[in-house]
Structure 1
């Protein structure tokens, strides 16, 4: 793991419902490779993978559905109720996600790539190898409104989801670059275009 990614590696993060996907879609439209931690988290425990075998060894065969895949809703309920189980599951998945992201960043031959990592602030010690951090930022009140509208949850659950993540201040403290996404989504076009030029200049 001593190899250094040849391109500029930008880690993109933001709170739940901040609009990270809207931003990554615009970078992808400009031809920038985006490697997503959420995609990685599914792939590293796909059927037949070492990761899934380790989850089954840790939690028992009842964690699988009838197609041999991880029964995600059941697992989510289990780890939500049991912090020790959550830590055990994360110890299996997180190192594999980091390796997956790094492997893809190393393989890129473009001037720069993006890593979309929702829980970057919570795990920043493991991502010291990235070159820059880009935070998609919105006030918590906007997060709350969007989360209720997007997921159809009540305000209590929406607040709990926000509180389970790193604080807005913690994320902003890591930021080299910030995109304010509290306004209309169309404003993202210019913000992304400007950052794209900045990152190309840095490479």
Structure 2
């Protein structure tokens, strides 16, 4: 099973995306529908809303007057929080029941309007955000019967574009023709979601290129790293002492393979192995076999490794025991590069030069960098002494 979080601002077209994904084969769970279900007349949720907000939010037919309730809460943060405290726990409980009832090979799309606002993005291996320009959204909402002022109030009560971008693994722009949106959704389903689900279910890492391809530095790597760190922290819980975006993509301006490296620090090697095997709910698959870091003195230290099940986003999750010297060296190397532009240029030149060769294994490319990396770590030690750098792990 693959769980996908789907969100977007009011009037952006999220429901259109949900319906199309459902037609392609996804199991769609609509949080708005559930939110209505849990406050239907006769439910405990209905009684709680009326008790809190008064009979002015009840229609003559005995049902909830949602426009009246909306006017009360969308212009008042405190009252909106009060309503959310009644509705959201009931929605979460029902959503959980529906996910549990889905087939084991399902792509479950959870359509959640306030996914970003409620901090739920970390719970999904993939988050899709549907976007449309604000003026277009207001036009759509007015055509549905809202006043322009009500439409603006509802938009202002939700997450900003920047907050949604930070949460989005997939950004679908619905400012243009709906046909273009549906084509983008169809390609997402065929090219990413179907394989992602199969890889998660079979604990199978997605395929990778056999040769290193060095890309220009990408400013989006930092935001992607932040999302992955938060996702892994949520999945790992107390078993992870810390989680960090490391490696070349964590250094602004450094060309690199388009692979995000994440370091997870566990108490010991046994915990590291177990943790790597249990990151499937975050979208990762354990790499089989035993894995080792080669330390500065040439000795080897055990670690565990998980990689992306997502075919469109390459990630290496290095789960290391807290006592491994590699934990400190990885953080030191990253921070030294961030502060040393000439080292960034040297490393970039080395990467480009080595990437021109053909390798039998990707590990051979990594081994070819080792002499420079050992010298670089010695330089980084000198930098640490000069600057007073201390490892965030305390070791």
Question: Is structure 2 residue 156 aligned with structure 1 residue 163?
Answer: yes
**Residues 75 and 157 in structure 2, CA contact (< 8 A), matched pair in contact too:** no
d(CA) in 1 for partners of 2:7, 2:111? 6
The aligned residue for residue 111 of structure 1 is: 106
Between 107-116 and 127-136, report the one with greater CA deviation.
127-136
Q: Deviations over 1:79-114 (max 9, x none)?
A: 346543332221100111122222212211042111
Between 32-41 and 95-104, report the one with greater CA deviation.
95-104
How is 1:17-28 mapped onto 2 (pairs within 5 angstroms)? 17-28=11-22
Q: CA RMSD in A?
A: 2.3
Between 170-179 and 54-63, report the one with greater CA deviation.
54-63
Q: Deviations over 1:36-90 (max 9, x none)?
A: 1110110011122121122233334554334332232332333346543332221
d(CA) in 2 for partners of 1:120, 1:10? 11
Residue 39 of structure 2: SS of its match in structure 1?
coil
Higher relative contact order (CA 8 A, sep 6+): 1
Shift of 1:13: 0.8
Aligned residues: 195
How does the TM-score come out when normalised to structure 2? 0.45
d(CA) in 2 for partners of 1:66, 1:90? 24
The aligned residue for residue 93 of structure 1 is: 87
Q: Which runs of 5+ in 1 are unaligned?
A: 1-6
Distance of aligned partners of 1:80 and 1:27 in 2 relative to their CA distance in 1, 3 Å threshold:
closer
| Higher-Rg member (1/2) | 2
The aligned residue for residue 10 of structure 1 is: 4
Shift of 1:9: 0.8
Shift of 1:157: 4.5
Residue 130 of structure 2: SS of its match in structure 1?
strand
Match of 2:115 among 111, 116, 120: 120
Q: Which runs of 5+ in 2 are unaligned?
A: 198-395
How is 1:60-99 mapped onto 2 (pairs within 5 angstroms)? 60-61=54-55, 63-80=57-74, 82-99=76-93
d(CA) in 2 for partners of 1:149, 1:63? 23
**Structure with more helix by fraction:** 1
The aligned residue for residue 383 of structure 2 is: none
**Residues 111 and 200 in structure 1, CA contact (< 8 A), matched pair in contact too:** no
Distance of aligned partners of 1:62 and 1:164 in 2 relative to their CA distance in 1, 3 Å threshold:
closer
